[in-house]
Amino acid sequence: MAALLGWALCVAPNALAQTGWHVQHFALQLEPHFETRSFTGALAMDFTVQDSALQYLDLDAGDLQVARVQLGTAILAFERNAKQLRILLPKGLATGIPLKITVAYEGKASSGLRFDADTQQVATAFSTSLWTPCLDDPAVRASFALALGLPSGVLSVGNGERVSEPTGTDAKVQHVWQLDTPMPSYLYGFAAGRFAQARQIAGATALEFFGPAPFTPQTLPQVFADTADMLAFYAEKAGVAYPLPAYRQVLLSGPAAQEMAGFSVMGVRYGTRVLANPQAIWLGAHEAAHQWWGNGVTNRSWRHFWLNEGIATFMTAAYLEHRFGAEEYQDQIEAARTKYAALKEAGLDRSLVFPDWDAPTAADRSLVYDKGALVVHELRQFMGEARFWKGLRDYTRTHWGQSVETADFQRAMESSSGMDLRVFFKRWVYLQSE
């Protein structure tokens, strides 16, 4: 995600913990309705129960209108409270046995699912519970399958792999996507529209670019000319190859700036800017960095959001250094330092580990991105070039596919380098005086 564009990073305040049960897989059938700017959904959730006394389970469900909940063929009672759906379970469910609950629901366009009728565009944005029941908690991972019913002539991008070519009638075409790697639900999403498309191969990774008119199969590769280099750079610094067969980038009508599992979305203005100035690739580089820092290694809770955004913002600067030289890196770091200095001056400096992330202010977001990136830069200076990059690599490889907290980052950098970083983290991260 990118704070530069004022992206609303308000996270579900009451992110739900899974207690006594565990989700494995979400399979969603979603039908967007362009005429009414609404949608209908049918979610199937595979899960197991660990506690036979479990009476209910809670899902995040935004303002969705839930019509029916079933366990197999049995209809279950449910309650709505605030943004959650509480599903009441039958007594004495067997533990450890695969179970499937289905939820039929409807919803209306919102910040989480946007329609653009002119381009027949429909796309998701943070957060996922605005378009499907799920668990917004970033520490919960599940695989995800999506079947989208779309008008003919519309292209779609979803998570993971396109399972088959779209099939159906002129009126409604099924697009099926599947993400086999369990991922946090905030990385689920899709984008569909009357896009032009271009494709390249970069090593083992297919690169696909999408955008509405006036973008063309000729101009899209110009917008995304550096993508292969970005992925190679991050893979080398991470010590982890890009994990999926394809990486897709989509330009959307209207504002957009978000990473998702296997793809990212940006506004069409990003494409226009890059065509005018091929150096204006900050956003593309930032969202690509998240495929490692954010998606591959994920903050356990939003309290440690700086691990996602501070590291991704720092890695964006590091990529620009690799691509355009040291001066560009210094400009990025000085910009972060200036923003941080202004916050400090205004008395708004805080620990990068937040007591909660229920109602973050603009200053809090700037701390996470700008101070976060600056702290990683200062760590680079403090540790020295070789030790820092080895540490970042060890951190990324050790925690790949896992949830992390700030202590994990510190521990990985310390054990990799043999350095004692307690004073550094106290000063820069936790804002504690000696």
Q: Which residues of the chain form contacts with Zn ion (CB under 5 A)?
A: 1, 309, 312
Min dist CB 259 to Zn ion, Å, is 6
What is residue 425's three-state secondary structure? helix
What is residue 105's three-state secondary structure? strand
Min dist CB 409 to Zn ion, Å, is 17
Q: Pick between residue 89 and residue 352 the one whose CB is nearest to Zn ion.
A: 352
- State the residue for tokens 């690509």: 288
Min dist CB 1 to Zn ion, Å, is 4
Min dist CB 213 to Zn ion, Å, is 28
Min dist CB 312 to Zn ion, Å, is 5
Q: Pick between residue 198 and residue 289 the one whose CB is nearest to Zn ion.
A: 289
Min dist CB 363 to Zn ion, Å, is 17
Min dist CB 32 to Zn ion, Å, is 26
Q: Pick between residue 45 and residue 274 the one whose CB is nearest to Zn ion.
A: 274
Largest CA distance in the chain: 69
What is residue 270's three-state secondary structure? helix
Q: Pick between residue 5 and residue 71 the one whose CB is nearest to Zn ion.
A: 5
**Strand runs labelled E in 34-150:** 38-49, 56-60, 65-71, 74-75, 78-81, 84-88, 99-108, 113-116, 121-124, 141-150
Q: Pick between residue 26 and residue 306 the one whose CB is nearest to Zn ion.
A: 306
Rounded-to-10 torsion of CA 394, 398, 404, 409: -20
Contact 45, 103 (CB under 8 A): yes
Distance from C-alpha of 191 to C-alpha of 262, rounded to nearest angstrom: 12
Helix pair 372-383, 305-324: axis angle to 10 deg: 70
The phi and psi torsions of 294 (rounded to 5 degrees) equal 135, -65
Supply the DSSP string of 312-359, one letter for each residue. HHHHHHHHHHHHH-HHHHHHHHHHHHHHHHHHHHTT----SS-S--SS
Q: Pick between residue 3 and residue 71 the one whose CB is nearest to Zn ion.
A: 3
Q: Pick between residue 39 and residue 340 the one whose CB is nearest to Zn ion.
A: 340
Q: Pick between residue 1 and residue 333 the one whose CB is nearest to Zn ion.
A: 1
Q: Pick between residue 103 and residue 312 the one whose CB is nearest to Zn ion.
A: 312
CB closest to Zn ion, residue no: 1
Q: Pick between residue 244 and residue 312 the one whose CB is nearest to Zn ion.
A: 312
Distance of CA 132 to the CA centre of its chain: 16
Q: Pick between residue 4 and residue 117 the one whose CB is nearest to Zn ion.
A: 4
Contact 99, 46 (CB under 8 A): yes
